[in-house]
Amino acid sequence: MSLIILVPLLSAAKKQTHDFEGKCSSCHLSLAEGKKIFVREIDFLCSGCHKEPAISHPSGIKPSMPIPDKFPLDWAGRLTCSTCHDIHGNNADLLRVEKPGRAFCHACHKGLMEKHGGTDQPVHSGRSVNTMGFEVIDPSTPMDKLSKECMGCHDSILGSAADTRIGSGIWNHGNGVSHPIGTDYMKAYRKGRLKHPSSINPAIRLFNGRLGCGSCHNMYSREKKHLVTSNKGSALCLSCHIV
């Protein structure tokens, strides 16, 4: 099954995003006696409108861990879009809980809390923040929600305040390796030595034309360091950069 369930991101006000008035038959064969009988699999129905979902949690699979009752599975015990999202709800991003971010993920992935000790300590706490961390360059430039979510765990200084005040900047990976986040790709392209966005690997996502953590990383990728594609022979780097 394709990846459909949207990642629980930091979000602002609550908002009803679906209007199904008079459209029950688009998804349901019958609502008799409170039974929700769908015309097709839930993920298939969602994909009718959500053609290009965000970096997503796998769906259509049976979870390998106990799932709280508030996150329903389908008739076969599989994850669906509706597991995390209340299709008729009004919470931010239609999440089934009011608190997004780490608390949302920890509802099922208890190991995350153990791995990070349940503290605000940075993930790479063994290294100095001078050699690894995020430096804001332009606080007036908006940053995509996924990057803010990443910093909620991966940078203890900015992570605790990962909101709209964080703008574009430089993420220092350590060992002298750094990369901009929040940069307008087309503006950078016009300066030279970058490929046109239409010719880069489609696995490399831009967020409203800007670079983000999710441009190079996918938390569900099986590649080393969760890269969106292998960097063997600098393949990932050379997807954008001209040397």
Q: pLDDT confidence of 97, banded at 50, 70, 90?
A: confident
pLDDT of residue 34: 65
DSSP string, 69-111: TTS---TTS---HHHHB-TT--SGGGBSSS--THHHHHTT-HH
Mean pLDDT score, 126-154? 74
* Token duo for residue 49: 């409108």
User: Quick count: other Cβ atoms within 10 Å of Cβ 200?
Assistant: 19
Q: Range with the lowest mean pLDDT among 6-10, 136-140, 195-199? A: 6-10
pLDDT of residue 24: 86
What does the pLDDT look like over 47-62, one tens digit per residue?
Answer: 888 876 556 788 888 9
Kindly list the domain boundaries of the chain, sorted by start residue.
1-118, 133-239
pLDDT of residue 220: 79
CA distance 219 to 213: 10
What does the pLDDT look like over 173-209, one tens digit per residue?
Answer: 877 789 999 999 999 999 999 999 999 999 999 999 9
* Token duo for residue 107: 């509802």
Rg (CA), the chain: 20
Q: Which residue has the higher pLDDT, 149 or 47?
A: 47
The type of residue at 61 is I
